[in-house]
Chain A
Amino acid sequence: KQEVTQIPAALSVPEGENLVLNCSFTDSAIYNLQWFRQDPGKGLTSLLLIQSSQREQTSGRLNASLDKSSGRSTLYIAASQPGDSATYLCANGIRDDKIIFGKGTRLHILP
């Protein structure tokens, strides 16, 4: 059974720093990996989606990487801003049309 783990559960960093969020998964037979952002009391906003054949995707200050062999993905946020404060979730698309979500990392950028 696929399990997706995000560590740490919460993270605080000063504004302006670069940071990395981690996502690990137990089954490398994934179709894709997606990173989402969730603000308090809101739905999820898709940030980046990496297909299984890709190694990374970039959007603005965000870069996501995928290493299927080690079962890991990272989300790199450059020059963090207070507006980046949110919960970040990763999710695996796997066989049988399933998506497995991690529990998220709650990020707080300190002004």
Chain B
Amino acid sequence: DGGITQSPKYLFRKEGQNVTLSCEQNLNHDAMYWYRQDPGQGLRLIYYSQIVNDFQKGDIAEGYSVSREKKESFPLTVTSAQKNPTAFYLCASTIGTGGFGQPQHFGDGTRLSIL
């Protein structure tokens, strides 16, 4: 079945450590997105990519980095510069590159906590 796979499901970070969250899709979607969700809050956009080797900052990009070397993969690195990384991270994708006009498909998320 086609879908979006996020791994790991749970991740723990030590102070000063960078960690990378994986997002893979086999839907042949062009655009991919990373969101952060805090308890009782809506989703906030971190980064998005509409095409391979290109990506744009979202509303809360500071302390995060991404790469888009392959169409199916969009990993997110949470760097030590992100001082409050504890959150639920969601990856999404859409078909086409027409902006946000198409339905978004989501992975099951990665919950990141600080040790």
The answer to whether A99 and B40 have CB atoms under 8 Å apart is: no
Q: Which of B68-76, B79-87, B100-108 contacts A (4 or more CB under 8 A)?
A: B100-108
Chain B contact-residue range equals 20 to 34
Given contacts A43-B107, A89-B43, 19 further A-B contacts (CB under 8 A): A31-B100, A36-B106, A41-B108, A43-B4, A44-B92, A44-B106, A49-B102, A49-B103, A51-B101, A89-B42, A93-B101, A94-B100, A97-B100, A98-B100, A101-B43, A101-B44, A103-B41, A103-B42, A104-B42
> In the complex where A41-B111, A43-B108, A89-B42 touch, is A34 in contact with B99 (Cβ < 8 A)?
no
Interface residue tally for chain A (C-beta within 8 Å): 26
The answer to whether B90 and A43 have CB atoms under 8 Å apart is: yes
Majority secondary structure, A binding face: strand
In the complex, whether B48 has a CB less than 8 A from a CB of chain A is: yes
Identify the interface centre among A34, A44, A89: most chain B CB within 10 Å of its CB: A44
